[in-house]
Amino acid sequence: MGKCINHPDTETPYKCMKHNIYQCEHCLECPDPDIYCKFRTSCPIYFMSKKGFDVEEQEALPVGRETEFEPCTVTFSPGNISVTVPEGSTLLRAAEKADIYINASCNGKGSCGKCRLILEAGKVESTPTALLSDKEKSKGYLLACQTRIFGSEVKVRIPEETIEKKLRAEGMGKEATEKLHGLVEVITPMVSKTILHLPAPTMEDTVSDLDRVIRGLKKNGIDTSKLSTSLKVMQQITEASHKGDWKICVSVLHKKCSSEIVKVVPAYDESVSLGLAIDLGTTSIVVYIVEMETGKILSAASGHNSQAACGDDVINRMVCAEKDGVKKLKLMALSTINNLTKQALATLEQDQSAIENVVISGNTTMVHLLLGLESKYIRREPYIPTVSEFPIIKAGEMGLRAATHAGVFIMPGPASYVGGDIVSGLLYTGFHMDEALTLFIDVGTNGEIVLGNNEFLMTAACSAGPAFEGGGIRWGMRAEDGAIEKITLDPVTFVPTYATVENKPARGICGSGMIDLISEMLLKKVIGQDGKFRLDATHDRMTLFKDELAFILEYGKNLASEEDIIFTESDIRSLVLSKAAIYAGFTVLLDEVGMDFSMVDQMIITGGFGQHLDIGKAVIMGLLPDIERNKFHYKGNSSIAGAYMALLSRDFRQEALTISNNMTYIDFSSSTRFMDEFIKAQFLPHTEMRLFPSVKIK
């Protein structure tokens, strides 16, 4: 092992024997590829760079093809983006290397059918799949994760219905950001700036420059009893002091039990101090750029979490990390965050070095993967994370696009499946300080719920799965442009009337649309309470897909894809299982304290999915309890809101730790009570109709 010649902080085993230098996996390139080298036959650097290998790219080839390692060029259109991969790689791996987003909800297992591509030229071998219709196969459709490349050149096209579109992210826009301004009255950042007017050295005052700075900080009310600094800062002090005529700006990083001088510059050279709040979601990532002096949100950006190429849910992400390495998942999330930060800074004409404070809010798995921490034990009994309460980290250690000395506070999480995003939600909504009994839910893949008030807080995760975000649903998708989000059915003909995100042509259906659809089909008797169709294949709105009944939402003749958008009985079953897990979670958590839904004073719904949720339709489906509708309150993206509050305030950072420590986690994984309630809830709206008195099904 040695240090990479280009990245001296990186340990690497790859050594050029001719020049006696080391290169990390990001730098693998033969220094002299065209001249004779006696070490070449055994040189991994030459082999990998010449053959187009990526250290994280190597895959098991089919039996009998293990020795064939010829490079292959794959070209993706639209865009004509080309990438070279080893022959035998899957098209999904090629897309990842080319940084092209391909929806692979199942992490490449071939069970979701979302990673569809169209073969235009070249030789490939595809594993047979029932997830493509005969019509699609005749057009050259294939699944990227089930197709391996053989031959020197392959050309594929990303179909219109698969191309990544703009994702609607909550917590964005002027209205969303302005309502946060004023939440923090006294700003106390992790990295504070202090302007010092130091007395110049004299024969009567001969203390060192560093001691002079420390003395100045102490006079300005900063605790210097446990103050440290680095060699880099010591090198800055003398130059900054003399250049600035002893008027300097000192940046101090305040940690839990100590503080550190992290930057010293002449006072006239100091720029505005910025903060970065990050909502690290499983599906999407949102960033805020904040002016630390005033607390004003200057800009915001959002985008897909590129880790979604490894699966829609945290379990698939952990499996992917275990198979391909945590580092791969870390770089994918880090790349998304840094690109969004760059995008947000571009509108301000500010440099990343101005960001000196960062707060990250995300679930336990997402945070572990971002930090490069081992995540596999989170999903294995007894389900223990590496860290639950994080020390303040420097941005340079993580690779964030910010000042290298920027302090990074990560919202703490009480358990493996209830993380800092939920703690952020409580911090923002503040119900942990009220007497009212509150049921809180972040509707998403994990289905994290909290029950409590100012006397107690109980929390659990009910593993809802990715169905409400499109995972495992034939035409399911996230809330991107073209997703059907609202739908009603004619009571006689069952012809759908729908609205799509941004009023774009229909490309699929998102979570809120699926809830609308199932509720409408139940009330209009298209399906029964068992989730089975009451109509047969002879009806105008019905068809068969792989011998399974399916409802036609939109005919292919009206779409660019020419494929009917359908909803199958399997899709209904997936959603029923997801809603059953969430409702069972509510029931068991209440039962733990001897309560029921009638005793709940308010129910808070957060997350991007919640804003577009029709409460009435969600109750009809059995996703939400049948209680007074005025008890439901939507609070937006509480994860980014809580991160913003913690970014500006030491008190809120401390309160986040207190909230996390006060939460009692209930593990449903081995609960027979949960399984009983889960089975009961696998009916529309529920097996026990007395729980849903307002739902009238004839």
Residue 13 has pLDDT above 60, yes or no: yes
Q: What type of residue is 337?
A: I
Q: Dig out the tokens for 302 from the structure.
A: 């959002």
Q: Is the pLDDT of residue 41 over 70?
A: no
Q: Give tens-digit pLDDT for 87-119.
A: 888 998 888 888 777 777 676 778 777 888 999
- What's residue 54's pLDDT? 42
The whole-number average pLDDT for the span 46-68 is 47
Per the CB < 8 A criterion, the answer to whether 103 and 115 are in contact is yes
More confidently predicted of 22 and 387: 387
Mean pLDDT across the chain, nearest whole number? 87
- Please give the average per-residue pLDDT across 666-673, as a whole number: 86
Is residue 292 pLDDT above 80, yes or no? yes
* DSSP-based three-state secondary structure for 220: coil
Instruction: Set out the domains of the chain in order of their start, with CATH numbers.
Output: 2-50 (no CATH), 71-157 (3.10.20.30), 191-269 (3.10.20.880), 421-465+576-640+674-689 (3.30.420)
Percent of the chain with pLDDT over 70: 89
Check residue 1 and give its pLDDT.
66
Greater pLDDT, 2 or 692: 692
**Contacts by residues 18-26 (CB-CB < 8 Å, ≥ 24 positions apart):** 25/54, 25/55, 25/56
With a cut of 80, say whether residue 16 has pLDDT above it: no
CB 692 within 8 A of CB 685: yes
Nearest CA-CA partner of 549 in 523, 563, 564, 567: 567
pLDDT score, position 38: 56
Over residues 625-630, mean pLDDT: 96
Q: Over the stretch 459-482, which tens digit does the pLDDT of each residue have?
A: 999 877 778 878 788 899 888 889
Do the beta carbons of residue 371 and residue 391 sit within 8 Å?
Answer: no
Query: Inter-axis angle of helices 650-662 and 638-648, to 10 degrees?
Result: 130
Percent of the chain with pLDDT over 90: 59
Q: What residues pair up with 226 in beta bridges, in sequence order?
A: none
Mean pLDDT of 112-129: 88
Q: What is the pLDDT of residue 53?
A: 41
- The rounded distance, in Å, linking the Cα atoms of 29 and 578 is 48
Instruction: Check residue 307 and give its pLDDT.
Output: 86
Q: What is the pLDDT of residue 51?
A: 42
**Structure confidence at residue 96 (pLDDT):** 80
**Range scoring the smallest mean pLDDT among 49-63, 428-442, 521-535, 561-575:** 49-63
d(CA 520, CA 517): 5
Q: Average pLDDT of 635-643?
A: 93
Q: Which residues contact 216 (CB under 8 A, 6 or more apart)?
A: 194, 196, 197, 198, 250
How far is it, in rounded angstroms, from Cα 330 to Cα 373?
9
Q: How far is CA 215 from CA 192, 220, 519, 670, in A?
A: 17, 9, 69, 58
Residue 497 has pLDDT above 70, yes or no: yes
Of residues 25 and 510, more confidence is placed in 510
Amino acid at 643: A
pLDDT at 102: 77
| 258-287 mean pLDDT | 90
- For 99, the token pair is 């940084």
257's tokens: 């039990």
Least confident stretch, 45-59, 136-150, 508-522, 595-609: 45-59
Question: What is the residue whose two structure tokens read 């420390």?
Answer: 214
Q: Mean pLDDT over residues 409-417, rounded?
A: 95
Q: How much is the pLDDT for 36?
A: 60
Residue 320 pLDDT > 90, yes or no? no
List C-alpha distances in Å: 275 to 261, 278, 349, 411, 429: 18, 10, 15, 15, 22
Confidence of residue 213 (pLDDT cuts 50, 70, 90): very high
Give buried/exposed letters for 7-37 (b at 16+ CB in 10 A, else e).
eeebebebbbebeebbbbbebbebeeeeeeb
Q: Is the pLDDT at 259 greater than 80, yes or no?
A: yes
The DSSP element (H or E) to which 428 belongs, if any, is helix 420-429
pLDDT band at 202 (very low <50, low <70, confident <90, very high): very high
pLDDT at 256 over 70: yes
Q: For residue 71, name the pLDDT band (cuts at 50, 70, 90).
A: confident
Q: Where are the alpha helices (DSSP H) in 38-194?
A: 44-50, 91-97, 134-138, 173-178
Position 44 confidence tier, pLDDT thresholds 50, 70, 90: low
pLDDT of residue 65: 47
Q: How far is it, in rounded angstroms, from Cα 390 to Cα 358?
A: 13
* Chain centroid to CA 292: 25
pLDDT beyond 70 at 6:
no
10 Å CB burial of residue 693 (0-12, 13-18, 19+) is exposed
Checking if the pLDDT of 138 tops 50, the result is yes
Token pair belonging to 533: 């169709």
Of the candidate ranges 112-116, 421-425, 442-446, 513-517, the one whose mean pLDDT is the lowest: 442-446
Please report the pLDDT score of residue 59 as a whole number: 47
Q: Which residues contact 646 (CB under 8 A, 6 or more apart)?
A: 359, 361, 409, 411, 424, 427, 652, 653, 656
Q: Which residue in this structure is represented by tokens 């069970």?
A: 111
Q: What is the pLDDT of residue 608?
A: 66
CB-based contacts of 494, cutoff 8 Å, min separation 6: 524, 526, 535, 539, 541, 551
- The pLDDT assigned to 68 comes to 47
How many whole angstroms separate alpha carbon 428 and alpha carbon 659? 11
Task: Find out whether 674 and 682 touch, Cβ atoms under 8 Å.
Answer: no
pLDDT at position 113: 79
Q: pTM to 2 decimals? A: 0.80
Tell me: the pLDDT tens digits for 354-412? 999 999 999 999 999 999 999 999 988 888 999 999 999 999 999 999 999 999 999 99
Residue 164's pLDDT band, with cuts at 50, 70 and 90, is: low
